[in-house]
Structure 1
């Protein structure tokens, strides 16, 4: 199963989702991430808290969804509300669309401890959702079955 995580700037939540999915799913799911308006750099705290949580940060870059025209994801997951409201490029037309609506830990204002907790909470949310995706991927469902399984898993 192939998944493309989309967030407007592709520097935090979509990056976290890509790294966590690729490590937890052990090749069962191939994840990439992109943005409609990529920042061009990954948020440094995304890299810091992924590494502290024992996730590989190797190869993570902020890039445009235009770079994935030939990727042909089975599922496109928007992780921010603004990306969910954007029209996806036509080449994602065959992909199922799912919205996770994760809060952006990079926008938290507070002390270092509060910011760290926001990142760790986001990572925990992604881990739980990836575990559900892994169960679904093991079922090797056709598109209607996949859509139903995603709906039952609480993705919307």
Structure 2
């Protein structure tokens, strides 16, 4: 594997979970990881709840955009080392052929964009899902990638995707 690992996070709409994961990993994993996000049916805009939370936490948001996963299967796309699906819908879809033959895993999260209630309750749901994504990415970043064989690494990636209360 490379000095810098390219990681793609997938969600159907690419407006909340995958964008938060991209932002978290680009901060927490720098310079070892370069994160991207995309969706099978992108919304075209970042969810306001996700954008507000990321800005509140001082993430750079000016380059975030909702994009189709086809961008990462096209000629000239970065070779990917890891691809993670973050929603059950994207996990069940037939994905493109990714350059680089990446390792894949499903890390399911509840969709904060589907939250209902007061503005404060919706913001709390975004913060909750953000925290879950951040915890999984902290585990991922701490893996000794260079010293793990592919089977062991795949098991670790799958374990990260399981319910955190079971993995603890």
Q: What is the TM-score normalised by the length of structure 2?
A: 0.84
Distance across 2 between alignment mates of 1:64 and 1:58: 18
- Cα deviation digits, residues 88-138 of structure 1 (max 9, x gap): 1123682222111111111111001110110000110111011111112x4
Q: After superposition, where does 1:5-154 map in structure 2 within 5 Å? A: 5-69=9-73, 70-91=77-98, 94-136=101-143, 138-140=144-146, 141-151=148-158, 153-154=159-160
Indicate if the aligned counterparts of 1:23 and 1:56 stay in contact, CA closer than 8 A: no
In the alignment, structure 2 segments of 5+ residues that lack a partner are: 163-168
> Cα offset for 1:139?
3.4
CA distance in 2, matches of 1:14, 1:30: 14
1:59-112 C-alpha deviation (Å, 9 max, x unpaired): 100111111122221111111110010011123682222111111111111001
Counterpart contact for 2:139–2:160, Cα < 8 Å: no
User: Size of the alignment, in residue pairs?
Assistant: 154
SS at match of 1:154: helix
What TM-score results when the alignment is normalised by the length of structure 1? 0.90
Q: What CA distance in whole angstroms lies between the structure 2 residues aligned with 1:100 and 1:148?
A: 13
CA contact (8 A) 2:81 2:100 kept: no
Match of 2:161 in 1: 155
Is the CA contact (8 Å cut-off) linking 1:36 and 1:64 kept in structure 2? Answer: yes
Equivalent-residue separation in structure 1 for 2:70 and 2:83 (angstroms): 13
Shift of the alpha carbon at 1:31? 0.5
